[in-house]
Chains A and B, each alone.
Chain A
Amino acid sequence: METISEILTKDHKRIDDIYSEVENFIVKKSWDEAGLKVSEFSSALNNHLQAEEECLFNEFERKTGNTMGPTQVMRMEHDQMRQFVTQISRAITEKNYSACAGNMETLMILIQQHNMKEENMLYRMCDQILSDIQEKIIMQIKERIS
């Protein structure tokens, strides 16, 4: 059976792929397609973040009794990502290439360093700590990200 780590890591790659497509439309200045793609990206990303916050982090916090630790930092970075997506959507509507490029690049690195922390540490801890309720969590995550 797949683990929480594997499912969420796979979803990171799927979101990265959609991200690249948004970026590639921006490079070609195909603003209409970029607008459509960024909506797809936004909902894929939001579903992922929401699945983590509601299904994973809440359980992690309940189990460890720690709400001010790693999950708090992850939630903060999630908010930073959401702000970037809003700015990128606006820049696409305004057909502002340099604002798009600057925000996309920074969001990319923000997402990737965030993913490294999740994939290398937090998910692995969740796999262990939440092993008894893993099936339930996986079902909830799948409902949200699919």
Chain B
Amino acid sequence: MNTGNLSLSQAPPYWSVVIYFLTAPFFSFLFSLLMLFKGNIVFVTFYNYPLIAFVHLITIGFLSMVMIGAIMQMMPVIGGAVISKPVFFSAIIYILLFLGILSILLYFLTLQKFIALFAMFFLYSSLTFFAVVSLYKLLPLFLTNYSMRSFSLSLFSLLILVLLGVIMLYKRVSGFSFNLQPGLLNLHIAWAFSGWIFLLVVGVSIQVIPMFYVTPEYPDNVKKWFPVMVFILLILYSSGQFVPKNIYGTWSQTLTFLFSFFFGFFSLFTLIQLNRRKRKLPDYSLWFWRTSMISLFVFSVALMVYSFQERTGSKWTIGLPLLFIAGFAYTLVNGMLYKIVPFLTWFHLSNRGIFNIPTMKGVVTDGQIKIQFYFHLSFLILIALAILSSNRKAFYLAFIFLLISSLILFVNLFSGSMVYHKIVKRGSNTAG
């Protein structure tokens, strides 16, 4: 066996991943700002151009930014999968992705065709390059490492959803006519929600929850088969094209029901896991986990109801994606950042052989995390009220809270990274 490739210390350099984590709150800040000024279109129709653009600030700008940074960080630790030129890899993807997010925003705001071409190029090249390189590194672990299996399926989903997104953009600018049975948009959303986001969360959870919170393990069968079954459901959902028209309704309804069952099962199981934790030290990241899993559970129930009788109206068309994106995914990613950034800061300082460095709680304090959590929770409660009661005041207030919450998140992470910067600088000055 060749051990030469296995270097357990090859964590990517500090700034090459932290830059992704620091950029994410910028996009959620921008999103809140745009929603405050232009967001009232939500009350007219959900599927409109500016809103599509704004939503991508969160799904790509916030969620995918952090998820990509976290995958780069976790691959060597969980799977021993090391990218050989991490700074180059990270920089290329970061720049292309950043430009891609700005171009998709500009395109949907201006509807200038040439900007769509830029958006297609930047987003397709960055996300596909990232997914292909990561898959190349992770696929050898598919059979033996269940967490990495879920990561791989999540990355496959990313490839598919990006392709679908680009096809939709291309259709829009070229007039090219092409569609599939559940609709390109439905497919794009399904692969994004159930594939890219959900499967990555599953992969992280089965590895991280038992270890970080000292809970019992997820059962072996869940670890082995759950991600594969979700992926199979996605493939079945995508093959609607080949299902006879007379049974398509039942087919699609059954699959939506099954998806909701899987979301519900996972959220409940994870909530139970978190309650069985042996550690009792107050840990605010747990609040984010719990809020996230409760949101996913509510989402699963709402989706189940929806699967029996397709509903219309903003309560459903806005409420469902909101529960998933804001309640489940955003909350979880936000909470994970408070584990990742402080640990990376400590880890990289310690590996430089610097003594007297702060612990994780000295990098971002519990007090800082608590305040931001309350702002985030207030946002979730207010936006839920706004949607349920069509109350515009609650709607605007919600985005003021998200605006402040993103700002505090940025300040918390930035001040954490400055701890690293100052100590390294101090160390090199002393050495010099």
Contact = CB atoms under 8 A, between A and B. Distances in A.
Nearest to B362: A102
A58 interface: no
Interface residues of A, number: 39
B361 A102 contact: yes
A80 B282 CA distance: 24
Contact of B207 (A104, A106, A116): A116
Interface string B332-351: 00000001000100110011
A115 B211 contact: yes
25 contacts: A17-B278, A20-B214, A23-B280, A24-B279, A24-B281, A73-B8, A73-B9, A80-B350, A101-B281, A102-B360, A102-B362, A103-B359, A106-B343, A106-B359, A109-B339, A109-B343, A110-B343, A112-B208, A112-B211, A113-B77, A117-B77, A120-B78, A120-B79, A120-B145, A129-B3
A109 B208 CA distance: 10
Contact of A121 (B9, B80, B282, B361): B80
A5 B6 CA distance: 17
A70 B359 contact: no
A117 B11 CA distance: 12
A50 B284 CA distance: 34
B4 interface: yes
B359 A27 contact: no
Interface string A63-103: 01010011001101000100000000000000000100111
Contacts of B350: 80
Contact of A73 (B7, B144, B208): B7
A122 interface: yes
Secondary structure of the A side of the interface?
Answer: helix
Contacts of B351: 76
Interface string B407-423: 00000000000000000
B143 interface: no
Contact of A20 (B3, B279, B282, B347): B279
B359 A129 contact: no
Contact of A70 (B6, B212, B339): B6
B4 A120 contact: no
A138 interface: no
Given A109-B212, A113-B77, A120-B79, A23 B362 contact: no
B431 interface: no
Given A16-B214, A73-B9, A104-B281, A66 B4 contact: yes
A74 B77 CA distance: 12
A26 B279 CA distance: 11
Nearest to B147: A120
Given A105-B361, A109-B360, A121-B8, A23 B1 contact: no
A76 B362 CA distance: 23
